[in-house]
Structure formats: structure tokens, C-alpha cells
Amino acid sequence: SQKIEQNSEALNIQEGKTATLTCNYTNYSPAYLQWYRQDPGRGPVFLLLIRENEKEKRKERLKVTFDTTLKQSLFHITASQPADSATYLCALPPYYGNNRLAFGKGNQVVVIP
Amino acid sequence: EPEVTQTPSHQVTQMGQEVILRCVPISNHLYFYWYRQILGQKVEFLVSFYNNEISEKSEIFDDQFSVERPDGSNFTLKIRSTKLEDSAMYFCASSEEAGGPGGELFFGEGSRLTVL
């Protein structure tokens, strides 16, 4: 099944800058990929879904890209705010034709005022 | 806004005891899931449930685990004889569809299980 890799080191970023997170997967390219936000001690919250035929998706200050050649998705938070501090999870089907989600370990973002 | 609710928020139990975690998924959703997250680890899939039966389960979901939808609203996870390694946050989730657009998961706030 898939191995989903996200940077284990926290990303510390100054308020107002753009945070960029990476999600790499190792095997087959999924039909879609999702990003979630998780705050400490709370359940993940869905943010964005991008399909394999979409290069880019935006929602307010969030942008996701999906490069099936590189087997990679990038997640951007523009004009970051302290309230954006959280862990961001990448999720995708663990193998072809499967509909459940496997999650990466997540990448913590800390926005410094 | 509709939400997934879970009870209890925290349960402490002795090793070997039975535990039931309860969830009320979003009312018009058809697919239900249990995930767990050991402290500091990733969110791991346990089981998915559709049309009153298990549609998929992971290797974690062994004979000690069971799920049930006893009525039209509740969805429960039972651990028959808890082990120390079952200590984790257990998340219930539901979705309108299985996978793809519309397949985004709506998670509850979790039930923290501590096994002593």
C-alpha cells in the first residue's frame, strides 16, 4: 500500500508569509488527495480535495497543487495568521480502487506574530 | 452546522475490561468509520461501515473489536478486552459518499481511551 510522507519537522513561519507544506506518496497515483487540519486533542477537519486531473485548487487563503509525475502535493497558506497554527494532514486512498483514506503523519505549522 | 458527536470524551479503564465508544454520525451520511490516533502518531484507519455491515477493516481491527449500528442514529465501537496498547484517541467519522468528491470525512472530537 501507499507510503505517505510529510515533513516531521515543524514549520515556523512569520505572520503574513506563505507557508508551504509537502506531501509525497510512493506508489500508485490516487484519483484524489485531501488535506485536513488538526488542532491538538481534536478531530481532523476537512480543508480541500484535489482530483488527479486538477493541477491546482484554491479556497480562500489556501492553495493545493497535485503533481502526479512527481507523486507530490503541495499545500500553501498565504498571508499566514497565528490562527493558522495547527497540524496539517495529507490523506489519500491507500491503494487503487480503495475508497477509504490513509493519512500522513502531518506537518505542524507555527505562525509567529 | 451538522456535526459528528462522540461520547465519552475520555474513558479510563483497567486492562481486560470491555469498553464501548459511541458516535452519532451526521444524519444523512451513509458511510461510517472509526480511526484511532496513538499520541504523537498518525491517524490510523480501523474500520468502515456501510449498509449495516463492515465494508473494510484494517489489520488493527482484530477479534477484540466490533462495531454496531444498533438504531438509526448511533454507531458504536466495542473493545472486548482492552490492552495497554489500545490507549489512544478514537475518532468516529462519516461521509456522504465513499471516496472521491463528496467523500470527505467529517470527524468527531474523539474519545480518549486510557488503559491502565
Q: What pLDDT does residue B100 have?
A: 61
The number of distinct structural domains making up chain B is 1
Could you read off the pLDDT of A78-103 as tens digits, one per residue? 999 999 999 999 999 887 777 789 99
Asked if residue B76 belongs to a domain, the reply is yes
**Residue B115 is assigned to a structural domain of this protein:** no
Note the pLDDT of residue A40.
Answer: 95
Q: Which of B46, B33, B28, B51 is closest to B86 using CA atoms?
A: B46
Cβ of residue A93 closer than 8 Å to a chain B Cβ: yes
Q: What percent of chain A has pLDDT over 70?
A: 99
Mean pLDDT, chain B, as a whole number?
Answer: 93
Angstrom CA distances, A43 to A10, A48, A72, A95, stand at 19, 16, 25, 24
Asked if the structure places residue B20 within a domain, the reply is yes
- The answer to which of A7-21, B28-42, B87-101 has the lowest mean pLDDT is B87-101
pLDDT at B90 over 70: yes
Q: Is residue B110 assigned to a domain?
A: no
pLDDT by residue (tens digit) across B36-76? 999 999 999 999 999 899 999 999 999 999 999 988 789 99
* Domain topology for A4-112: Immunoglobulin-like (2.60.40)
Name the DSSP class of A100.
S
Burial class (CB in 10 A: 0-12, 13-18, 19+), A24: middle
**C-beta separation of A5 from A26 below 8 A:** yes
Contact residues, B window 75-114, toward A, CB-based 8 Å cutoff: 89, 91, 93, 98-101, 103-110, 112
Residue A22: burial class (beta carbons within 10 Å; 0-12, 13-18, 19+): middle
- Say if B109 falls within a structural domain: no
Kindly report the nearest CA distance between residue B109 and chain A, in angstroms. Answer: 5
Look at residue B113 and tell me if it is in a domain: no
- β-sheet bridge partners, residue A14: A112
Handedness of CA A48, A74, A43, A29 (dihedral sign): positive
pLDDT at position B5 is 97
Give the model's confidence band at B15: pLDDT under 50 very low, under 70 low, under 90 confident, else very high.
Answer: very high
Which pLDDT belongs to residue B102?
A: 61
Region A25-42: what's the mean pLDDT? 92
B11 occurs within a structural domain:
yes
Chain A neighbors of B103, CB-CB under 8 A: 32, 49, 99
- Residue B73's pLDDT is 87
Task: Band the pLDDT of B101: cuts 50, 70, 90.
Answer: low
Q: What percent of chain B has pLDDT over 70?
A: 97
Residues of B in contact with A96 (CB under 8 A): none
Q: What is the CATH number of the domain that holds B57?
A: 2.60.40.10
Cell numbers found for residue B39? 499520541
Burial class (CB in 10 A: 0-12, 13-18, 19+), A11: middle
Residue pointed to by grid coordinates 480535495: A49
Could you give phi then psi for residue A4, rounded to 5 degrees?
A: -110, 120
- Buried b or exposed e, range B63-97, using 16+ CB within 10 angstroms: eebebebeeeeebebebeebeeebbbbbbbbbbee
